[in-house]
Amino acid sequence: MNEKSKCTIKNPQNVKTADIIIGIPSLNEADNIRFVVETVDKGLRKYYKKYKCVIINVDNNSPDGTGKVFMETKTVNPKIYVSTCNGVRGKGNNFLNLFNQVKELDAQAVTVVDADMQSITPEWVKAFLDPILNKKYDFVTPYYSRNEYDGTITNNIAYPLVYGLYGIDLRQPIGGDFSFSSRIVNSWIAKKWHKPTKQYGVDIFMTLEAIIGDYKICQVSLGQKIHKPSAPKLGPMFSQVVATILKQIIISKDKWMKTDKVVNIPMFGRKKSGHPQPMGVDYKSMKITSIFEYKINRDILKRALTPEIFGKIDDMYKEEEIDIGKTLWTKVLYDCVYAYDTTDLNMGLVEALRPLYFGRLISFIRRTLDMSHEESEEEIKEQAKRFWELRQYLIEKYK
């Protein structure tokens, strides 16, 4: 059982029980949280007025006044504000507070939406909750129309590893927004939470625990995702997500080694996903960072990668002509999974993987620059399939 991380709780309407909870995790989102709260309140009023509903802001004690804006936003449905203690940060800590509220209020169904979401509509509330309340699903992940250069950790690490090892075609396993049943909450709370899980690693932790525990999972198509860009948070986000996914893969070896087929996860919601949010990429800066960080981490990578794979990578970086294709990237990640399990490299390995991740990104950008969004999306899916085709490369290491 994880300790409760809440420090402040405001429940002015003295809510004791609820059927439905909308959770909004936040850190310094005073500029957008009002819009999200008003939108989900409209959705609850339109589709779930017969249910007892509550909107909960689980906050990291935001100094910008997020909590004040949340509580002052006019809604028909009651609101609860829960904050971690001063100095305690991390999205996962917010989720722990939310999970404890789910238990205390004895809720049936929960939807979580990020406080920075700008494209949310009242219909999202129904799209997320309907599979839980009416179709007996336990966990619902989003399917957005996202720019191919947005969600790069999803596209290049989370999605292909989930596809390749667990045989689960779940396009956005760390989409940030979810819905889930009360049944699965007990499972999450009971698990051991490592430090990265209490931060940005929480999304992939939840998804992989749902897969490992054989919970009923579906996806919901929501159209365009417009939100604050992830780039400023990419450093800590990368480390925390990768550390969590590697840990989860190691503890569930018995599960994924027995996987023998790819399962297509059901999709509900919109038929057409629409055009993604346009965004630019700083290719030059990414390449400079990749080369600089590779030099720092070269010795760790030499220990982690097989001699053949390390040789290919090392030659590229010496010549500063980086071309990490699908097959090479698959073997790099599988080498790192094995090294994380069998060496003492730990977080050093996670940090050392980052320059190669940037190397994969610039290789993907160069390949897809003149492609349509649909063609680029196909490239991402083909990469996931390559992870499935080459899964024996990792399994053989354990024999």
**Structural domain ending residue among the three candidates 219, 245, 269:** 269
Evaluate whether residue 87 is within a structural domain.
yes
Looking at residue 233, its pLDDT comes to 55
Return d(Cα 359, Cα 316) in angstroms, integer: 10
Where would I find the H helices in 201-306? 202-212, 234-251, 253-256, 283-304
Residues 256 and 342 reside in one and the same domain: no
Residues 297 and 249 reside in one and the same domain: no
Per the listing, tokens 């070896």 go with 253
Looking at residue 71, its pLDDT comes to 98
**Structural domain ending residue among the three candidates 269, 301, 320:** 269
Looking at residue 1, its pLDDT comes to 41
Evaluate whether residue 277 is within a structural domain.
no
Phi then psi dihedrals of residue 7, to 5 deg: -125, -40
Residues 321 and 183 reside in one and the same domain: no
Question: What is the domain-level CATH number for residue 11?
Answer: 3.90.550.10
Evaluate whether residue 108 is within a structural domain.
yes
Return d(Cα 189, Cα 8) in angstroms, integer: 20
The DSSP output letter for 372 is -
Residues 236 and 372 reside in one and the same domain: no
Return d(Cα 81, Cα 188) in angstroms, integer: 22
- Residue numbers in the chain where pLDDT is lower than 50: 1, 3
Return d(Cα 160, Cα 258) in angstroms, integer: 18
Evaluate whether residue 144 is within a structural domain.
yes
Evaluate whether residue 275 is within a structural domain.
no
Domain with 124 in it: 6-269
In sign, the C-alpha dihedral spanning 193, 350, 165, 303 is negative
Return d(Cα 367, Cα 92) in angstroms, integer: 35
H/E element, 222: strand 217-224
How does strand 263-264 pair with strand 168-169? parallel
Q: What is the tally of structural domains in the chain?
A: 2
Residues 48 and 105 reside in one and the same domain: yes
The DSSP code sequence of 166-187 is: H-EE-S-TT-S-EEEEHHHHHH
Helix (H, G, I), strand (E, B) or coil at 83: strand
Looking at residue 273, its pLDDT comes to 64
Residues 257 and 333 reside in one and the same domain: no
Residues 53 and 135 reside in one and the same domain: yes
- Reported as a single tens digit per residue, the pLDDT across 169-221 is 999 999 889 999 999 999 999 999 999 999 999 999 999 999 999 999 999 99
Residues 12 and 35 reside in one and the same domain: yes
**Structural domain ending residue among the three candidates 269, 304, 324:** 269
Question: In terms of residues, how long is the chain?
Answer: 399
The model's pTM is 0.95
Residues 78 and 213 reside in one and the same domain: yes
Task: Determine the angle formed by the axes of helices 283-304 and 326-342, rounding to 10 degrees.
Answer: 50
Residues 42 and 169 reside in one and the same domain: yes
Residues 260 and 335 reside in one and the same domain: no
Evaluate whether residue 276 is within a structural domain.
no
Evaluate whether residue 278 is within a structural domain.
no
Which residues, 6+ apart, have CB-to-CB distance to 384 below 8 Å? 159, 160, 163, 164, 169
Residues 171 and 93 reside in one and the same domain: yes
Evaluate whether residue 1 is within a structural domain.
no
